[in-house]
Amino acid sequence: MARMEAAVGRRFIAEIKAGERIEDEVFLIRSKDLRTTTTGGLYIHAVLIDKTGQLVARAWQASDEMFQGMPEGGFLRFKGRAENYKGNLQFIIDAMRPADPGSYDFADFLPTTRGDMEAMWKRLVEILRQIKHPQLAALVGEFLNDKELMGRFRKAPAAAAMHHAYIGGLLEHTVSVLEVALRIVPQYPKLNLDLMLAGLFLHDIAKSTELSFETAIGYTDEGQLLGHITLAAIWIDKKADLVGSKLGKPFDSELKWVLQHIVLAHHGQYLFGSPKLPAVPEAIAVHYIDNLDAKLSMFFSEMENDRDPQSRWTNYNRALETKVYKPDVMGARG
């Protein structure tokens, strides 16, 4: 099976309709079960997913070999047909075969930002070019020129759950807070824009290492043991050394400390994992802008993803400690 097929585009779960036949498509197997019919036969009950949703699937006349051949958390190519069952879609599996790793795109199986990732990246670079302070600009440049790091940064989610928990989410969140800073700083001229931009760029940058996001979003060992806050502080230290050796004079210590401090303090409270509380104005501003963007993202996604269009309240959201009220009293969200 050639790569060309991917170019044609896959049939996403959200698009499949009852009565439709699927000749050959890759799905991620979230779970599987070998069950007995009322007449004594065996059948497989499975849940298949891609980034657009999930599909209950059944394979009749199953055998233990078939069952063993299905990798939970892995990929297979499926042939079959979609039916309606009690108002929900059900997929009847006719055949399964291995999926060649090169023949599908992992990104199809993870939720992804709706934003244009290339455009967001360009905007990020454009904004960061506005930094005028030579040392700070050089430091930010060290990060931007770190191909391997930026490769992960551009794909990473901004969280394992909670907000922007999708491929590209970290980039989207970072650009968004930078835009907010560009808008707000003129209102508070005592805030230093360069420091705000650098701090916001770096505040969550280590999420790119804290989180794993190859086949599912989770935590890496390094992330779980150290956390993105400490990782970013370490990285700034090392990049500052690099800048110093390139510029031929040590990076300004105080500037480095303040930048690291902004990152360390951006969760705003000890209880939320910040080892230091904001002690410079830019640190408190970064903290509130980060929170504003993350919480608004949670509100909007809670409202959009709510399953019951007729209810006026979403389900209880633990991070927000409340349900969200959905009626559009102002026509604002039309």
Interacting positions 306-325 with a copy of itself (CB under 8 A): 312-313, 320-325
Cβ neighbours of 128 (radius 10 Å): 21
The span of 95-103, 147-155, 161-169, 280-288 binding a copy of itself (CB under 8 A) equals: 280-288
Nearer residue to a copy of itself within complex by CB, 22 or 278: 278
Distance between CA atoms of residues 296 and 232, nearest Å: 24
Footprint on residues 171-210 left by a copy of itself (CB under 8 A)? 176, 179-180, 183-184, 186-188, 190-192, 194-195
Per rule CB under 8 A, is residue 65 in the interface with a copy of itself? Answer: no
For 75, 91, 104, 296, 302, the CA distances from 317, given in Å and listed in that order, are 32, 32, 35, 13, 8
Nearer residue to a copy of itself within complex by CB, 11 or 123: 123
Q: How far is the CB of 285 from a copy of itself (least distance, A)?
A: 6
Q: Is the separation of the CB atoms in 262 and 282 below 8 Å? A: yes
Per rule CB under 8 A, is residue 227 in the interface with a copy of itself? Answer: yes
Alpha helices in 215-252 (DSSP H): 221-247
Q: Tokens at residue 47, please? A: 């849940």
- 3-state secondary structure at position 300: helix
Per rule CB under 8 A, is residue 280 in the interface with a copy of itself? Answer: yes
Q: How far is the CB of 324 from a copy of itself (least distance, A)?
A: 6
Find, among 194, 196, 145, 204, the residue nearest to 174 by Cα.
Answer: 204
Per rule CB under 8 A, is residue 234 in the interface with a copy of itself? Answer: yes
> How many of the chain's residues bind a copy of itself (CB under 8 A)?
80
Residue of 148, 271, 305, 309 that binds a copy of itself (CB under 8 A): 271
DSSP code, position 110: S
